Amino acid sequence: MTSMLDDLKLIHEKDVSDTLGIAERQWQQLNEVFDIGDIPSDFQNIVYSGMGGSALAALISLSWPGYHIPFQVVRGYDIPAYVSEKTLFIACSYSGNTEETINALDEASKKQAKIVVIGSGGKLEEIARSNNYPFVKIPKAEQPRYAVLYNLKALADILVKTGQLDAQKISGELKQAAEFLEGMSKRWQATVPTADNLAKQIALEAAGKSVVIYAGPLLAPAAYKWKIGFNENAKQIAWWNQYPEFNHNEFIGWSEQPPIKPYLVVDLRSNLEHPRIQKRFELSAKLLSGKRPEPVVINAEGSNILEQLLFASTLGDFTSLYSGILAGLNPAPVDLVEKFKKELADNAG
């Protein structure tokens, strides 16, 4: 099997920001050492505020490493009513200028929450410095969505610093995961031909279609990352959902209308999911056979949930990047998003 995606000259012409190289080197982000500073450890719950890719690391953290106290991700302007001086409030914006996160941070400060800020600069850094909030600085990346593993490592380091996680255990798991991801990423790089490259194969199947990604609770963050990737790298509409919620509504939506379904369905499967989740995937595929496109089934590789999340997420990165290149696009820029943010700022208040 050969394709346009085996034309390295074409890839280099379109991928001018070397986003495929960025994807291949993502494993290195897990080895970053962050200066966390002093963070109080006397809190009873954690609220994490972020949007888009900046929220993704927090969603991943629900599957790995998980939490022993209440943890909530806020993606909007307002914060939960329960936020108080007993809350660790983490404000994360890669750019540092996300208005929803800045507003949420302002609300948290009024509630006297214990505040930590993650970002690469911008207004959030200014706020953190002027208020003596611990500021965890993320290295520069081509786009925020390419810095998710930096965010995840920063969040893990914060949790270790506050005593929520065991430093030695987390360090070992991250080191093993980085080595695993380094090996996996080589299978999807541009020099690997389509016949041996799953990411290129799926990108070809996705051409001209809307992509719908499904996962169970453990791999749900990876499904969300696929959606982000197709939206921003391929400039292609995509949706995601998770089991078991899928079977309570969206499942029946596939059964009749519209009769012609120009979609690519992707099932992200993990052998670590609850056995009933496994059964739901199987029965759904059986009962929807002939009513929706046959799903592309991806069985996540890896010996633990962190490795499987990284496998599934990074495969999605490569697939969406190839989809953008296949469409003749430069995957990196998100010009319309930047235009929207500018016009929104111009219409503030």
Whether residue 349 has pLDDT greater than 80: no
Q: How far apart are CA 41 and CA 134, in angstroms?
A: 13
Residue 335 lies in a domain: no
Same domain for 220 and 131, yes or no, is no
Whether residue 22 has pLDDT greater than 80: yes
Residue 212 lies in a domain: yes
Same domain for 219 and 283, yes or no, is yes
8 Å CB contact between 7 and 193: no
pLDDT of residue 106: 98
Residue 334 lies in a domain: no
Strands of 238-242's sheet, edge to edge?
Answer: 238-242, 210-215, 263-269, 296-299
Whether residue 1 has pLDDT greater than 60: no
**Residue 156 burial (10 A CB sphere; 0-12, 13-18, 19+):** buried
Same domain for 12 and 87, yes or no, is no
Same domain for 69 and 11, yes or no, is no
Please state, as a whole number, how many other Cβ atoms lie within 10 Å of the Cβ of residue 336: 9
CATH number at residue 27: 3.40.50.10490
> How large a percentage of the chain has pLDDT more than 70?
99
Same domain for 146 and 263, yes or no, is no
Same domain for 93 and 163, yes or no, is yes
8 Å CB contact between 92 and 50: yes
CA distances from 25 to 33, 79, 141, 318, 319 (A): 16, 35, 12, 12, 15
Confidence band, pLDDT 50/70/90 cuts, at residue 298? very high
Same domain for 148 and 208, yes or no, is no
Cis geometry, peptide bond prior to residue 139 (ω within 30 degrees of 0): no
Residue 55 lies in a domain: yes
Same domain for 127 and 41, yes or no, is yes
Q: In the chain, how many domains are there?
A: 2
For the segment 143-192, what is each residue's pLDDT rounded down to a tens digit? 888 999 999 999 999 999 999 999 999 999 999 999 999 999 999 999 99
CA 228 to chain CA mean position, Å: 7
For the segment 267-280, what is each residue's pLDDT rounded down to a tens digit? 999 999 999 999 99
Residue 45 lies in a domain: yes
Residue 340 lies in a domain: no
Which of 1, 62, 11, 9 has its CA nearest to residue 326? 11
Same domain for 221 and 315, yes or no, is yes
Domain that holds residue 146: 23-180
Same domain for 165 and 205, yes or no, is no
pLDDT of residue 348: 78
pTM of this structure: 0.96
Across all residues in the chain, what is the average pLDDT?
Answer: 96
